[in-house]
Amino acid sequence: MFNGSTILITGGTGSFGKKLVHSIVDSCEPKKLIVFSRDELKQFEMLESFSGGKPKFLRFFIGDVRDQSRLEEAFHNVDYVVHAAALKQVPACEYNPFEAVMTNVMGAQNIIRAAIRQKVKRVIALSTDKAASPVNLYGATKLCSDKLFIAGNSMSGDSKTSFAVVRYGNVVGSRGSVIPFFMKKKAEGIIPVTDERMTRFSITLQQGVDFVKSSIARMNGGEVFVPKIPSYRIIDVAKAVAPEAKIKVVGIRAGEKLHELMIPEDEARLTLEFPDHFVIQPDFHWWTSMEKLMKTGGLPCPDGFSYRSNTNDKWLTVEEIRALASEA
C-alpha cells in the first residue's frame, strides 16, 4: 500500500517512529517518507543510522504538532499520516498538565484539521491502554485525543479523509519502560517493585509497527484497533532481569494502575473480536461497517466483557521475559 505513496510520521524520531521508518525503508518503495519531529539532533542521529546512506525518498521536517500552519505545510500531497507524537511520561504530564493538553489534545485537533484541509487519505493515531478508564492526566489527554480522531471522520466531508486509532500496552524496551529501568537497577542489587500483584500488557516495537501497518490497510475510519497481546507480572520481570537481586516493594505511584485495561466493559457492546485483534466501533450514526466487519470474521463481544491485563488468557513466562529483555 505504501509503494508510490507519501507517508508522514509525527514523532518520527521516537522509539516507535524510528522502528516504523526503518520498517518502511526495508520493505517498501514510497514516493516520500517524511519524519516530522521537533529535535534536529535526533533527526541527524537517525539519518546517521542508515548504513547505506540516506534513502532517496526520506525527508526530515522540523516542526511541532502544536503549530497547525507548519502541519499544513508538511501534509501537502501526503497520502498517509501516522501520528505518534505525544508527551507520554505520566509523572511529567501530572506536573505539567497544560503542556500535556497542548501537545496531546490541541496537537491532535491540529493534525485533524491539517489532514482534512490537505486531503490526506488516511490518518492513524497511536493511543495507549491508559486511555481506557484513565486515572492519570496522560491517559485523560489520550482519551480526549482518541475521541477527537474518531469524530474527525464526521468532519472530513468532501476531503474523504479517514481517521482511526490504535491502542496497545507497554512496549518492551522503549524509553521509560520497566525492563531498561530494572536492568539499570540490577547493578545496585535491589529492584524497586511498586506492587507484587501488578500486571501489564506487553508488545514489542516490531509487533507494534506491524499492527499499525495492518490497521492502516484495513481501516474504514472510526475504529479503535486493539491487538491481542500477552500479559506479564511485574514481579516476574524482576526475576527475569535480575534473579539474584533483592525485591523492594515501594508502593504504587500517583496516577498508576494495579492492572491495565484496554477494553472497558462499557465498550464491549461496540467491540468485535477477531483472531488476533479487537475492533472498537464508534457509537455514531454515520458508522455503517458493523455488518461488513462481521462478514470478515468479527464476532460481537459478550455483555460484561473487558480486556484486562490480570484476566488475560496469554501470559509471558520468566524465561520468555528474559529472552525479550536480551533483545531490548
Known catalytic residues?
A: 130
Residue 42 to residues 9, 45, 205, Cα–Cα distance (Å)? 14, 5, 18
What 3-state class would DSSP assign to 231?
A: strand
Handedness of CA 289, 230, 201, 199 (dihedral sign): positive
- Rounded-to-integer distance, Cα 31 and Cα 5, Å: 5
Q: What are the φ/ψ torsions at residue 223 (nearest 5 degrees)? A: -85, 155
CA angle 144, 147, 148 (to 5 degrees): 85
Place of cell 501537545: 103
Do the Cβ atoms of 51 and 39 come closer than 8 Å? no
